[in-house]
Amino acid sequence: MKNQIYFLVLRLLNFIINLMFFHCIKNKLLRFLNVKLSSSATINGRVRFFGFREVTVGINSCINFGCYLDNRDSIKIGDNVSIAHDVKIYTAGHDYNSNDFSFVKAPVEIGDNSVVFSNVLIMPGVKVGNGAVILPGSVVTKDLIELGVYGGVPAKLLRMRAADSLNYEINYKYWFAN
């Protein structure tokens, strides 16, 4: 019964958060729910949370429409990070090799100036290096190096990003962005 109440409260909070399209009101509720959100960061509509653990979103970072944040462990998103629509960040799962299918979790960190394109899956325990790029549809199972451009299933290093390509600021506060 305790788990059912937990999931009901979580579903209700996700519903309320996603009804709010004014960022200032939504951000106050998110901060109340243990989301450390920079004043210049944006979390757009239809983002789902899966727990009440800490989520940190840095300066000028943007999480777009339809993302899934499995915050059963902590998620740290650096400054000036772009996370496109329908990205799923997982911090927990089950050990399929254990004899009791035990629950395991590990935090996820996404470094400053990283770009995560649409429909990417990031698995528990992954650290994305500063300035890394993850191409659409990739599945990230291991740590990514700084300025690496990754793609595929599982994500593999394809090339390096130019270090001088990081001279921009993300400013994406559109109320009705899809």
Q: Is 8 exposed, middle or buried (0-12, 13-18, 19+ CB in 10 A)?
A: exposed
| Three-class secondary structure of residue 2 per DSSP | helix
By C-alpha distance, which of 63, 17, 22 is closest to 42?
Answer: 63
* b/e per residue 71-91 (b: at least 16 CB within 10 A): bbbbbbbbbbbbbbbbbbbbb
Q: Is 69 exposed, middle or buried (0-12, 13-18, 19+ CB in 10 A)?
A: buried
The answer to whether residue 94 is catalytic is: yes
Angle, helices 2-19/23-32, rounded to nearest 10 degrees: 160
Q: Using alpha carbons only, give the angle 76, 81, 87 rounded to the nearest 5 degrees.
A: 75
Question: Which of 11, 94, 156, 173 is the catalytic position?
Answer: 94
CB-side neighbour CA atoms (13 Å) of 62 = 19
Catalytic residues: 94
